[in-house]
Structure 1
Amino acid sequence: MSQTQPSAVVTGASTGIGAACAKRLVDEGWRVFAGVRKNEDGERLKAELGANLVPVTIDVTDTDSVRAAAAIVREALDGQTLKGLVNNAGIAVAGPMLELPIEEFQNQMDVNVTGIVRVTQAFGPLLGVDEGLTGGPGRIVMMSSVAGEMGAPFLGPYAASKHAVEGISKSLRRELMLYGIEVIVIGPGAVATPIWSKAEEIDTTPYENSPFYEAMTRIQGWMAKNGPDGFPPSKIADRVFRAFTDAKPRFRYAIVPKRLSNWSLPRMLPERMVNKIVANAVGLHRKNR
């Protein structure tokens, strides 16, 4: 490896946005440490992308797994700084907030929130906090969502996790000014990835007797339709590459299909009006007593 070849870590690289980020960076000459949970996924990525793709087992819910991965990357860097970290690993838990099993909510937060803290703490030294390393400071990309700025019925756990990602990113960005490490948030809307395209597989049977059931199935249908019709993961990967390489990247990028209706208008209109529009769309009308 050339001493000037930049390296990045991408979590959740098995499929979707993570795999697209790994490909884009490898295509640009970067070495990518691709965080995967299954060996076969790592082998597949390496076969597809070549020698500059280095699979690393990372379970973001397991501190020992994350620390072990950071040790592997540190050794491979051989005294150089890591140029990029993409905190992409995530899941989407759905259900009515009043009825959702608390264990499912905890799992959502452990993966999407505590997971990025584990990863950032483990790899932060390699981005330039460890001043014994050679090279300039790296950058962190946090994969948020349109849900990081908005809420949606029955996606409360996911929205909560992405709101947390936004807050963590703002705080971390200011703290890491001490080391010159940039923190950039990417907030996609619908993307054609398995996390949304498998919406039809969500088991709604536990809520069949719930007053929320009919509206929940409508939301499920919307997700199943709009996920595959969303932006390709490569569009998000393009923005991640620019976040790593632009001289002065923006702090947050919103990459949202049908931007006017799905992003701009809901942020400009009075929230009470937006609530009514959403309620009418999914059938959340006030119950008669």
Structure 2
Amino acid sequence: MGNRRIPLANTIVVTGASSGIGKACALQLDKLGFRVFAGVRREMDSDALRCEASATLTPILLDITDAASITSAVDIVTTAIGEIGLAAIINNAGIAVAGPLEFLPIDEIRKQLEVNVIGQIAVTQAFLPLLRQGQGRIINIGSLGGRIAMPFIGPYSAAKFAMEALTDALRMELRPWHIHVSIVEPGFITTPIWEKSKEVAGTIFNNLPHQAEHMYGTIIPGVRETYSHAGRTGTPAEEVAKVTIRALTAARPKTRYIVGRGARLGTSVLERLPDKLRDALIIRWLTKSPAQ
């Protein structure tokens, strides 16, 4: 296997496996022979996964914001694997809330953090005993947005920044047990999250006060389309899944894995620029028509 290693356990839990990165990870791991428990929100997503995977892959209904749902998922996995433990948990479930921070409903911001931050911690806490048993790994799906804040998706960036910090803290805290913790940082990816975000942003914007439309009405449509276009033309979810599996199987996993040209450009160039210059470049990109 060279610089690769097969975990002592071969069971992996993937959250947010209904679509995008989570689904790609679940299916690729299934093909590699891992036993996958794929967290989904709806029964119809379970059926769809079963149609594309082997009989070994097990979809489980998992709402990472619901304590009872998490407990049920842990019980299902524990019953299935006994004392062998987990090889890894891949924390991928997430949403993207978009809109001007000045007018975004606080409940929407709270929901963003509840799903993309608190939910990730809750799932990790719940599965850590099994990870210790299996000498497993924790792989968090982050984003370039967790290294460089982006306007009009401020809550999403805030959540991803939080996951960067929590990944670092958890990595140091779990070092005595040799539980590796890595974060995968893609740029824009071709997943439904950006189209969903565009729809949510449209709904939110339509319900904003009149002064919001007056103040941001000329810029928001272009920003929404730029983000949507970036998502449609971004890195395929399958490529992110391949890198995630590399983090799972590497003998010496990195702490961070940057995925995609946009993410590499962002971390190598934009992150090093003076704040105001970076701000200007990002705003120029956002307000420029995708066709230009």
Asked if these proteins are the same fold (TM beyond 0.5), I'd say yes
Select 1:114's aligned residue among 102, 118, 124. 118
Cα distance in 1 for partners of 2:222, 2:237 equals: 25
Range with bigger deviation, 40-49 or 84-93 = 40-49
Aligned residue for 2:138, secondary structure, equals strand
Aligned residue for 2:70, secondary structure, equals helix
The one-letter code matched in structure 1 to 2:60 is V
Aligned residue for 1:151, secondary structure, equals coil
1:4 CA drift (Å):
6.7
Aligned residue for 1:214, secondary structure, equals coil
When residues 172 and 259 of structure 1 are mapped into structure 2, their CA distance, relative to the original with a 3 A threshold, is closer
Mapping of residues 123-134 of structure 1, within 5 Å: 123-128=127-132, 133=133
The one-letter code matched in structure 2 to 1:267 is E
Tell me the alpha carbon deviations over residues 200-239 of structure 1, each in whole angstroms, 9 at most, x when there is no partner: 4231323462412322222101111111111111101101
Aligned CA-pair RMSD: 1.9
Mapping of residues 64-83 of structure 1, within 5 Å: 64-83=68-87
1:84 CA drift (Å):
0.8
The answer on whether the counterparts of 1:198 and 1:224 sit within 8 Å (CA) in structure 2 is no
Quote the sequence identity (%).
38
Residue equivalent to 1:190 = 188
Cα distance in 1 for partners of 2:114, 2:9 equals: 33
Select 1:9's aligned residue among 9, 13, 35. 13
The answer on whether the counterparts of 1:184 and 1:251 sit within 8 Å (CA) in structure 2 is yes
1:283 CA drift (Å):
5.4
1:145 and 2:143 are equivalent in the alignment: yes
Tell me the alpha carbon deviations over residues 160-212 of structure 1, each in whole angstroms, 9 at most, x when there is no partner: 00011111110000111121111000011011000014454231323462412
Residue equivalent to 2:35 = 31
When residues 198 and 257 of structure 1 are mapped into structure 2, their CA distance, relative to the original with a 3 A threshold, is farther
The answer on whether the counterparts of 1:144 and 1:187 sit within 8 Å (CA) in structure 2 is yes
Residue equivalent to 1:287 = none
Residue equivalent to 1:275 = 279
The one-letter code matched in structure 2 to 1:38 is R
Aligned residue for 2:269, secondary structure, equals helix
When residues 110 and 258 of structure 1 are mapped into structure 2, their CA distance, relative to the original with a 3 A threshold, is closer
Select 1:265's aligned residue among 253, 266, 269. 269
Q: TM-score, normalization: structure 1?
A: 0.90
Cα distance in 1 for partners of 2:214, 2:253 equals: 46
Select 1:243's aligned residue among 221, 244, 247. 247
The answer on whether the counterparts of 1:146 and 1:256 sit within 8 Å (CA) in structure 2 is no
Larger fraction in helix: 2
The one-letter code matched in structure 1 to 2:206 is T
The answer on whether the counterparts of 2:97 and 2:197 sit within 8 Å (CA) in structure 1 is no
Tell me the alpha carbon deviations over residues 118-176 of structure 1, each in whole angstroms, 9 at most, x when there is no partner: 10011011001xxxx4xx40001001100110111111000000011111110000111
Structure 2 gap segments, 5+ residues each: 1-6
Cα distance in 2 for partners of 1:211, 1:282 equals: 17
Cα distance in 2 for partners of 1:199, 1:254 equals: 23
Cα distance in 2 for partners of 1:117, 1:277 equals: 34
Residue equivalent to 1:92 = 96
1:48 CA drift (Å):
1.2
Range with bigger deviation, 203-212 or 138-147 = 203-212
Q: TM-score, normalization: structure 2?
A: 0.90
Structure 1 gap segments, 5+ residues each: 285-289
Range with bigger deviation, 36-45 or 160-169 = 36-45
Select 1:170's aligned residue among 168, 173, 183. 168
When residues 186 and 200 of structure 1 are mapped into structure 2, their CA distance, relative to the original with a 3 A threshold, is same
Mapping of residues 198-213 of structure 1, within 5 Å: 198-201=196-199, 202-203=201-202, 204-207=205-208, 209-213=213-217
Tell me the alpha carbon deviations over residues 4-55 of structure 1, each in whole angstroms, 9 at most, x when there is no partner: 7601000000111000000110111001000011112112211210211101
The one-letter code matched in structure 2 to 1:60 is I
Aligned residue for 1:211, secondary structure, equals helix
